[in-house]
Amino acid sequence: MKNKISILIITILAFVITSCGPKGTKIETLTDLQGKVIGNLSSGISEDGSKAMISALIGGEPAQMLSFNRSLDVLAALRSGKIDGFASHQFAADYMLKRNSDVVLIPILDIPIEGQAIMAVRSEDAKLKSLLDSAIVILKDNGTIASLEQEWITNLPAENEPTFKEVPVIEGAASYYVGVSGDLPPLDYVAADGFPAGFNVALLSEIGKILNVNFKFVSLETQARFTALASKKIDVVFCHFQSTNTNYFDELKNDGWLATEPYFIYKGGCFVVKK
């Protein structure tokens, strides 16, 4: 009798374990993600907005969505089995794939994914926006931005992670504080030592030379970036939006900030899953 009870308990526990959380079935197509637990990087839009966007991409609703602040966090959740997969921009997924052999990409083919990376400033700082815009245009025209893309995004070696390089301080020049969340490597990146690094930092270093101003980088959580901007803890923040999904950007827009000219254009999206 005791043996039968023990077998029954083991059977029930096995059923509970296999029935809860992400399923072990191999995911090979976007439709395989329907009814699964999907990870998503916090972006500032509502949970309903995020769910609607993910549902459109996989052709059905996920069982659950979990939000994370950084790519490293969502990757760890995938590896631990907390989620079944997560959406990613193609350039960010390519960066991840070079460094992690245990994941694979499922491309989004039927829906065009295009977007822009911008900087945001408070609406009262229209002059700062104008200065940033003028510097971005100069750096586009002289090829500097294209060179930075090659160095920090396209050809960034897997064995060489970006590291923080001390930016020379211009004596007597105005200083602006920039929020870096590290949510989208290699664009918005925080190195292992906790210091901001990568493409965005390199770009602002070049902008600082043109404008003769100092930029001081502040690490912060993704979800806190616009709050920090509004409270004047920072003066500039990086963000991005999909130009092919206007609802996404409409939710992010508000009367409290202004967007600069885009400094990086990206195309392509995918979902990252375990091999």
pLDDT score recorded for residue 235: 97
Domain-embedded: residue 8 = no
pLDDT digits (tens, 9 = 90+) for 113-162: 888 899 999 999 999 999 999 999 999 999 999 999 999 999 888 877 77
Hey, what are 166's tokens? 């001390």
**What was the pLDDT predicted at 250?**
59
In the prediction, which pLDDT does 122 show? 95
Examine the pLDDT at 18 and tell me if it is beyond 60: no
For 162-205, how does the pLDDT look when each residue is reduced to its tens digit (9 = 90+)?
766 667 788 999 999 999 888 888 898 887 777 888 899 999 99
CA distance 217 to 224: 15
Spatial separation of the C-alpha atoms in residues 107 and 183, rounded to whole Å: 21
Q: What is the mean pLDDT of the chain?
A: 84
pLDDT for the residue numbered 220: 87
Residue with tokens 């500097």, as numbered in its chain: 144
Q: What is the pLDDT of residue 246?
A: 53
* Domain endpoint, select from 92, 107, 122: 107
- Whether residues 55 and 150 share a domain: the answer is no
Residue range(s) defining the domain that contains residue 150: 114-267
Residue 2 lies inside a defined structural domain of this protein:
no
Omega prior to 186 cis, within 30 of 0? yes
98 and 29 inside one domain: yes
User: Residue 27: which residues within 8 A CB-CB, separation 6 or more?
Assistant: 33, 36, 84, 85, 106, 273, 274
pLDDT at res. 254:
60
Position 30 scores a pLDDT of 96
Let me know whether 45 and 128 are in one domain: no
Report the alpha-carbon distance of residue 58 to residue 33 in Å, rounded: 7
Tens-digit pLDDT profile for residues 206-262: 999 999 999 999 888 887 888 899 999 999 999 877 666 555 555 556 667 899 999
> What confidence category does residue 62 fall into, taking pLDDT thresholds of 50, 70 and 90?
very high
